[in-house]
Structure 1
Amino acid sequence: MSQKYEAERAVLMEDVKQVLKDAEALYKAAVDDGTKEGQALKEKLKAQLAKAQKQYAELEGSVVERTRQAAASTNDLVHEKPYHAIGIAAVVGLLLGAFLSRCGR
């Protein structure tokens, strides 16, 4: 399950990174028509792009750190109380099995 989450997270982060690259390419390709409005719009776009890139970097670092913390706390909990973890896994398996057997009918 955590591998699936990691794969989905990686795909999402890659998609966001690609959108930012595309926006940056669009900004660089934008033709400056020389008007004050055009220059102001281009400068605003440049500022928004820089802000989005900064927020992306912060978000990526935050997500990675939270994922590591969650994995470490789960690992610690399982090591501290292995019988609780086995019991919870058994109950979840039992409920999932009952649910799937009813859906299969």
Structure 2
Amino acid sequence: MSEVTQAGRDKMVADVKVLISDAEELLKLTAGEASGKLAEVRTRLGERVAAAKVRVVEMEQALVAKTKEAAKATDVYVHENPWKSVGIAAGAGLLIGLLIGRR
């Protein structure tokens, strides 16, 4: 999994957690309001927040599993092809060094 995709997914999970936290706070702040329409909206929002929490946990678990899988595949490749891995790392280091040196 690429770092950009990983970072994007991590940010999305963090943003959803913040959104859920804000919605929970809103529910707590409006707990004393007893009007019919507001109570109905609070109930629906509470159900959706609970469902969103479950989905975020599932997403996090899937993300962790895929990350571990990618790390294990990388580890296996490096152990099976140590010289190729060293060559790739050296080439990447050289390219990064050249790019940094041009600035």
User: Could you say what the CA RMSD is over the residues aligned between the two structures, in angstroms?
Assistant: 2.6
Quote the offset at 1:13 in angstroms: 5.5
Quote the offset at 1:16 in angstroms: 4.9
In 2, distance between residues paired with 1:98 and 1:14? 35
Structure-1-length-normalised TM-score: 0.74
Cα shift readout 1:16-65 (whole Å, capped 9, x = no counterpart):
54553443233133133332x11221111111111110111111111111
Structure-2 residue corresponding to 1:67: 67
Structure-1 residue corresponding to 2:56: 56
- Gapped runs of 5+ residues in structure 2? none
Mapping 1:38-49, distance limit 5 Å: 38-49=38-49
User: Structure 1 runs of 4+ off > 6 angstroms?
Assistant: none
**Greater length-normalized contact order (CA 8 Å, ≥ 6 residues apart):** 2
Q: Size of the alignment, in residue pairs?
A: 96
Structure-2-length-normalised TM-score: 0.76
Structure-2 residue corresponding to 1:33: 34
Matched position secondary structure for 2:102: helix
Cα shift readout 1:65-92 (whole Å, capped 9, x = no counterpart):
1111111111001001111101100110
Matched residues, percent identical? 32
In 2, distance between residues paired with 1:12 and 1:56? 10
Quote the offset at 1:99 in angstroms: 0.9
